[in-house]
Structure 1
Amino acid sequence: MESDEVEDKKLVKVLCLHGFRTSGAILKKLVERWPKPLLQKLDLVYMDGPYPAQGKSEVDGIFEPPFYEWFQSDQDFKEFYNFEECVEKIQEFMLTHGPFDGVLGFSQGALLTAAIPGMQREGVALTKVPKVKFVIIISGAKFGGSKFGIPTLASASFSNPITTPSLHIIGETDFMKEESISLLQSFIDPIVIHHPKGHTIPRLDDKSLESFCNFIAKIQDRL
């Protein structure tokens, strides 16, 4: 009886945003290492960033090109370029391939993902698509935090606590660790998974898998 109930639950449709100068195909390879009990709950859709990589990718030689980026910035990450165009491209993709229940992002994709609930709340972006019901942020950070400036479009994203359910995956040796921890303060009741690796999509141990599956089960109950 219990297995029938699990099968009857709606798949959770998730838009997946890859890291800087990588691709949707690369993110898919890494995410698909996660255990089947989690993956079978999810309908994962991967988007490529709208801009070809404008410099060398750190994964060149490890993964096959082409590589993409979502937007650009100056050397200090204080000024951002093509951000509004990027968000518009995401909305177009969501209209074509959605509706989506939530968004998952890694690294540069996680920066974007963290800002989406606030941009939707403020009515400045992604207004033609339903508000996301949750976000999954892997190696994330906050626009306007200690390391990054904030694009005009996202200027009020963190002006109020974000009530959208959030799952944050933070690496112990990730160079973004402090930024990822700081970001937690912007969300109400964030769920956090820690892992011992660095700036990567980690494999999930039993404890992490349980936390992740519980998070998704709560989302499923609301669909």
Structure 2
Amino acid sequence: MTKSRTHEKPRILCLHGFRTSAKILETQIHKWPDSILEKLDLVYLDAPYPSMGQSSVEGIFDPPYFEWFQANQDFTEYENFEECITFIEDFMVKNGPFDGLLGFSQGATLAAALPGMQAEGLVLTKVPKIKFLILTSGAKFGGSKFGAPPLAANAFSCPVKCPSLHVIGENDFLKPESIALLDSFVDPNVIHHPNGHTIPSLDDQNLEIVNNFIEKIRNLAAT
């Protein structure tokens, strides 16, 4: 019997950055205040592949480190991309249902493409429709920096309609990609922060933006 989810928190699958881990992302997200975190049911998943090279967080966070998929130096060819999507879907089937996705860096780039691929009927066919996205330091497959894996070739052929919150750092090396990604979404919500490639603390203005977004997704999660 399906129970009502009217009073439940939005359940969110969280995808970490390149060569980091679920535990590291959880630590980063806890820069956000309890007043935000207590409204969300956050589930953190380690990527399926052990790090195949040096991690940028070595000496800051302890290993192990993982990656979602691999690419060549100019991001025109990808390996293990389809296998990665299957891995995520299997986890969602066994541990869901999930209302939305949260991603950082490689995890955000992956999450950003999933609603479009799901709408095409190519991926996530065994789980409910993704209702919203929270993306920090994201980028676009098929944009100026990253080519698109074949499975994601048309992920942004139509504007992505699900509500989205985009967190963009002024000194992030992915800032141009994160800004370009906004054009693929209908009415995106945006937070700007002064830092680099990281999940930032939230000042009062950004806290208000996040709280307003959470109210929106709480209503969606109840449907």
Shorter chain as normaliser: what TM range? over 0.9
Q: Which amino acid aligns with 1:168?
A: H
For 2:42, which of 35, 41, 44 is the aligned residue? 44
Question: Using the alignment, how far apart are the partners of 2:77 and 2:32 within structure 1?
Answer: 35
For 1:178, which of 157, 176, 179 is the aligned residue? 176
Number of residue pairs matched by the alignment: 216
Equivalence for 1:5: none
How do 1:79-158 residues align onto structure 2 when only pairs under 5 Å count? 79-158=77-156
Question: Using the alignment, how far apart are the partners of 1:37 and 1:81 within structure 2?
Answer: 40
Q: Which amino acid aligns with 1:136?
A: I
- Shift of the alpha carbon at 1:9? 3.9
Q: Which amino acid aligns with 2:192?
A: H
Q: Which runs of 5+ in 2 are unaligned?
A: 1-5
For 1:77, which of 49, 55, 75 is the aligned residue? 75
Q: Which runs of 5+ in 1 are unaligned?
A: 1-7
TM-score by length of 1: 0.95
- Shift of the alpha carbon at 1:10? 2.3
Q: Which amino acid aligns with 2:163?
A: P
Q: Which amino acid aligns with 1:34?
A: W
Question: Using the alignment, how far apart are the partners of 2:16 and 2:69 within structure 1?
Answer: 12
Which runs of 4 or more aligned residues in structure 1 lie more than 2 Å from their structure 2 counterparts after TM superposition?
Answer: none
Query: CA offsets per residue over residues 171-195 of structure 1, 9 Å max, x none?
Result: 0000000000000000000000000
Does the residue aligned with 1:103 lie in a helix, a strand or coil?
A: strand
Query: CA offsets per residue over residues 160-181 of structure 1, 9 Å max, x none?
Result: 1110110000000000000000
TM-score by length of 2: 0.95
Question: Using the alignment, how far apart are the partners of 1:13 and 1:221 within structure 2?
Answer: 12
Q: Which amino acid aligns with 2:204?
A: D
* Range with greater deviation from structure 2 (19-28 or 201-210): 201-210
Q: Which amino acid aligns with 1:64?
A: D
* Range with greater deviation from structure 2 (45-54 or 33-42): 33-42
Question: Using the alignment, how far apart are the partners of 1:47 and 1:68 within structure 2?
Answer: 10
Question: Using the alignment, how far apart are the partners of 2:192 and 2:26 within structure 1?
Answer: 21
Q: Which amino acid aligns with 2:88?
A: I
Equivalence for 1:34: 32
Question: Using the alignment, how far apart are the partners of 1:22 and 1:126 within structure 2?
Answer: 24
Does the residue aligned with 2:27 lie in a helix, a strand or coil?
A: helix
